[in-house]
Structure 1
Amino acid sequence: MTFRSIFFIVFLISFMGCKEEVLPKPKAMLRLEYPEMASKKLEVDCAYAFEYNAEANLKLKKDCSLTLEYPEMKGALFISYKSVEGNLTKLMSDAQKFSYEHVAKADNILEQPFVNEADRVYGMYYEVKGNAASQSQFYLTDSISHFVTGSLYFYTKPNYDSILPAAVHLQKDIRHIMETMRWKD
């Protein structure tokens, strides 16, 4: 062996031996923090009123339907109003059918009844888990005159893992809307 080859081998071994030990990176999850909800009263000339997140942009339509847009989360809550005219069973059936249209893509749909006897507000909240188009729907009624439905959508292709933090945050807003719903009679 020549001096050159010995020098090359020693250089190669010393170069290869100076590397730091490679350690696997721990699993981590993206941490998204959303501001605490600041409530704002809905002040429109409609048959209902509620409190909603002040971060949302309100867009009202002529028929008392509205959209609450959440630009930071690229999502929107669509709320519709209908008068009950002897068709409560059909309205409730349509709302339930609409929620279960997502069953093809959903992993699970949780139903949570809502009852506020004091203010005559009754309804159902549907939480959709999985890659469905809408992550939450609800309906509220007084069983006599008023019927309100709501659906949460994001302006993106549904990927449950990606939109889950925003969906959970907005589901709290939806529950707050349901809890503060009042009928104007």
Structure 2
Amino acid sequence: MKYLFFLLFITLLGAAACSNKPDYAPKPRGYFRLEFPEKEYQIFNKNPNYSFEYPKYAHMYLDSTDGYRPNWYNLTYPQFNARLHISYYPINGLKDLNQLVEDSRKLAFKHTVKATGINEGVITTKENQVYGVYYTIDGNTASSTQFFLTDSNNNFLRAALYFNEKPQPDSIQPVVNFIKTDIDRMIKTFKWKKN
């Protein structure tokens, strides 16, 4: 009988110990907290064909990579390791415009291999004769934002946002949203210069 009470006591003690056991789970992987600068803008007026506003915390410089052309620029965000590549082309007729538009579409849709979705938005600012398409590319892609602008007659500008690191959409999404606000400001303030 003592043996039975002892066995029952051990069983109850074991059951009580198991029920008070805390539930342990591994912590999810975290990312650094990002500090965003205050939004302040300045006018980019160095190009003879166009002007726009860009953020003061970003740096604009002429592109010097292989295959660059005159009037190609990079708008860099050193604190976010990001770069907006800006390419300008003069238009020589409707055939040239159609080719540039098609090239821009192909470059945006090159990301379909990794993209979960590509959205196109039409850009129209009639008072400044600025027309174009804004591509928002979702998923684990190298570029999440691309666009082109044209006056449909003489000028064409294309831009693409890239990060200098392996894309991880969850970790860079707040930065992408922050930079997209700057890109929207750039497009809204964009003006072609009359030559």
Regarding TM over 0.5, the answer is: yes
Which has the higher mean CA deviation after the structures are superposed, 143-152 or 60-69? Answer: 60-69
> Partner residue of 2:50?
48
SS in 2 for 1:72: helix
> Partner residue of 1:120?
129
- Aligned-pair identity in percent equals 34
Distance (Å, rounded) in 2 between the aligned partners of 1:24 and 1:105: 31
Deviations 1:50-85 (A, max 9, x none): 000111111124711100110111100000000010
Consecutive aligned runs of 4 or more in structure 1 exceeding 4 Å deviation: 19-31
> Partner residue of 1:39?
41
> Partner residue of 1:93?
102
SS in 2 for 1:92: helix
SS in 2 for 1:125: strand
The yes-or-no answer on 1:71 pairing with 2:78 is yes
Residues 1-185 of structure 1 mapped to structure 2, 5 A cutoff = 32-61=34-63, 63-86=70-93, 87-185=96-194
Which has the higher mean CA deviation after the structures are superposed, 25-34 or 92-101? Answer: 25-34
SS in 2 for 1:85: coil
**Letter paired with 2:83:** A
Which has the higher mean CA deviation after the structures are superposed, 32-41 or 93-102? Answer: 32-41
Unaligned runs of 5+ in 1: 1-12
Pairwise CA RMSD: 2.5
Number of aligned residue pairs: give it: 171
Change (3 A) 1:58 1:103: same
TM-score w.r.t. the length of structure 2 is 0.79
**Letter paired with 1:164:** Q
Distance (Å, rounded) in 1 between the aligned partners of 2:160 and 2:62: 15
TM-score w.r.t. the length of structure 1 is 0.83
